[in-house]
Amino acid sequence: MQKTTVFSTILVLALLAARVAWAGQSEDSDREAARIATKQATAAYNLGHYDEASSLYEEAYKRVPDPVLLYNVGQSYRQADKLDKALTAYRSYLRTAPDDAPNRGRVEAWVRELEWTSDLQNRTAAVKAAQKKEPPTPAVPAPVVPELTESQVSPKVPSPSMSTSSMSTRPDLVSQATQRAEPHSSASWTKWASWVGVGLTAAFGVATIVEGTSAKSSFSDLQGTCGKAKTCSDSQVDGVKSKVTMTNVLLGLTAASAAVAGVAFYFNYSGSKETGASLAWRY
């Protein structure tokens, strides 16, 4: 009985020793495999093969769960522009790494940046998806042009003689005809005033010429008789002065009547119908 108990104890101890030895060999094997995978991943990362590097770092982490490997996984995914996987790796690193890890502050900044970028990408994708779901704008059919006969295409030329009924349908023609038939409001006085002014201007002009000629002749006679001896009487001098004054008055009346005639002509011919006289007064 004692031999059986001793044998059982020895067997148990042997199995425990074998298990410990096997576990140690397995752990060493995992560490060696992780070391090889990490070496290969670093080489791939340095060559710019970021997808391959991320896969090798993940394989190494499965064998040896070191937070540093999670950091390397996040770096590889971020360089490969796989932001969601990089964000997951960085969050796992912050969750498992010690508080005094040297890269914690840098990783926290990257996490905030990736969260903002991921949110922006999600919103953009949602907007694009909503735009794709919108129904397309229905096409507007082209207008149907009816076929016209020859009589409809050829314009109808109106007859030269127009009846009263046809003119009543054209208010513009009626208004123009009425407007032309109305006399000018100023024609009642400008018509006779213009010609009266012309007559007065001619009369005053003739009188001015006659009186001026007479004044010049009297002055010449006076200068030839008593002007040289300076013995002219006051009455003789006053007679010449009165003729000169009358000449000036007549000249002023001639100018005034000419101005009145010009104004009358302007108002008489400045209506809707332009004439040579009105254009002359305007310009």
Burial class from Cβ neighbours inside 10 Å (0-12, 13-18, 19+) for residue 169 reads: exposed
Residue that finishes a domain, picked among 130, 149, 180: 130
Q: Taking residues 209-224, report their average pLDDT.
A: 79
The C-alpha angle 253, 257, 263, rounded to 5 degrees, equals 150
CA distance 152 to 143: 19
Instruction: For residues 49 and 125, state if they share a domain.
Output: yes
Task: Tell me, rounded to whole angstroms, the distance of Cα 14 from its chain centroid.
Answer: 93
Percent of the chain at pLDDT exceeding 70: 60
> Does some domain include residue 147?
no
Instruction: For residues 98 and 194, state if they share a domain.
Output: no
CATH of the domain at 87: 1.25.40.10
Could you say which DSSP state residue 160 is in? S
> Does some domain include residue 153?
no
Tracing tokens 């305007």 back to the chain, one arrives at: 282
Q: Tell me which of 144-153, 179-188, 235-244 is least confident.
A: 179-188
User: How many beta carbons lie within 10 A of that of residue 214, not counting itself?
Assistant: 15
Q: Taking residues 235-263, report their average pLDDT.
A: 81
> Does some domain include residue 216?
yes
> Does some domain include residue 164?
no
Instruction: For residues 35 and 125, state if they share a domain.
Output: yes
Split into its structural domains, the chain has a count of: 2
Dig out the tokens for 107 from the structure: 């990783």
Residue that finishes a domain, picked among 92, 115, 130: 130
Residue that finishes a domain, picked among 130, 151, 169: 130
* The pLDDT value given to residue 130: 87
Amino acid found at 54:
S
* The pLDDT value given to residue 249: 86
* pLDDT higher than 80, residue 64: yes
> Does some domain include residue 228?
yes
> Does some domain include residue 81?
yes
* pLDDT higher than 80, residue 23: no
Instruction: For residues 35 and 126, state if they share a domain.
Output: yes
Interval 74-106: pLDDT, tens: 999 999 999 999 999 999 999 999 999 989 999
Domain limits for position 268: 188-282
* pLDDT higher than 70, residue 248: yes
> Does some domain include residue 19?
no
Burial class from Cβ neighbours inside 10 Å (0-12, 13-18, 19+) for residue 246 reads: middle
> Does some domain include residue 166?
no
Instruction: For residues 124 and 214, state if they share a domain.
Output: no
